[in-house]
């Protein structure tokens, strides 16, 4: 029912302009207690110059909440979750990476399908309805963004790519690193 609703024609979502430098840490911070109780590590990496993003904040928050929930669920104790935000020349990208598990190439082609669940012998099969990533993909599409997955060397990264019509200039794009401490 939820996915059918997402496929239906809807009015344009309410758009707001957000500063990812302040907004993203506030969303990620909602996971601090869970991350600390599971003895995981969390890093937030952002380039110093990220243009403001005009989007539907509620939909973006749903996307990040689902990706962070999955990252917390599948990251073993002592391993890290990394949230990155950066601008390329043509896009703003937000990624959530977790270490400790890997999704096979075959599974990567299917994980966004509604109700698809990875077989039991895979560490990613720890419950769930198979709707979370399908919802993430639909929401990203509604925002005019793409969702991509890469999983190699024991690390899985989901990246949401927001194409930008205004070219992003890159001066000395230094990186800011924040570490969530428990």
pLDDT tens by residue, 53-68: 999 999 999 999 999 9
Q: What is the pLDDT of residues 68-122, one digit of tens each?
A: 999 999 899 999 999 999 999 899 999 999 998 888 888 888 888 877 666 544 5
Pick from 70, 82, 69: nearest CA to 42: 82
pLDDT value of residue 112: 84
How many Å apart are CA 3 and CA 178, to the nearest integer?
A: 35
Q: In the predicted model, is pLDDT for residue 37 greater than 60?
A: yes
Single out the residue of 157, 150, 18 nearest to residue 82, CA to CA: 157
Domain ranges of the chain: 2-180
Say what the pLDDT of residue 7 is. 55
Angle between helices 132-142 and 57-74 in degrees, nearest 10: 150
Beta-bridged to residue 87, according to DSSP, are 92
The sign of the CA dihedral 46, 51, 52, 54 is negative
| Region at 130 (left for phi over 0; alpha for psi -120 to 50; beta for the rest) | left
Domain 2-180: which topology?
Answer: Heat Shock Protein 90 (3.30.565)
Write down the pTM of the prediction: 0.82
């Amino acid at each position: 029912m939820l996915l059918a609703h997402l496929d239906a024609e809807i009015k344009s979502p309410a758009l707001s302009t957000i500063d990812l430098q302040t907004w993203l840490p506030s969303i990620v911070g909602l996971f601090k207690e869970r991350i600390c109780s599971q003895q995981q590590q969390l890093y937030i990496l952002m380039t110093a110059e990220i243009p403001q993003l005009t989007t539907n904040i509620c939909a973006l928050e749903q996307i990040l909440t689902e990706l962070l929930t999955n990252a917390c669920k599948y990251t073993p104790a002592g391993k890290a979750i990394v949230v990155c935000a950066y601008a390329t020349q043509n896009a703003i990208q937000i990624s959530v990476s977790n270490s400790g598990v890997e999704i096979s190439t075959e599974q990567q082609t299917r994980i966004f399908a509604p109700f698809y669940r990875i077989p039991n012998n895979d560490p990613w099969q720890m419950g769930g309805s198979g709707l979370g990533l399908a919802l993430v993909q639909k929401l990203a599409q509604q925002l005019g963004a793409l969702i991509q997955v890469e999983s190699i060397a024991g690390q899985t990264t989901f990246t949401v790519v927001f194409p930008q019509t205004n070219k992003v200039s890159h001066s000395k794009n230094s990186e800011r690193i924040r570490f969530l401490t428990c």
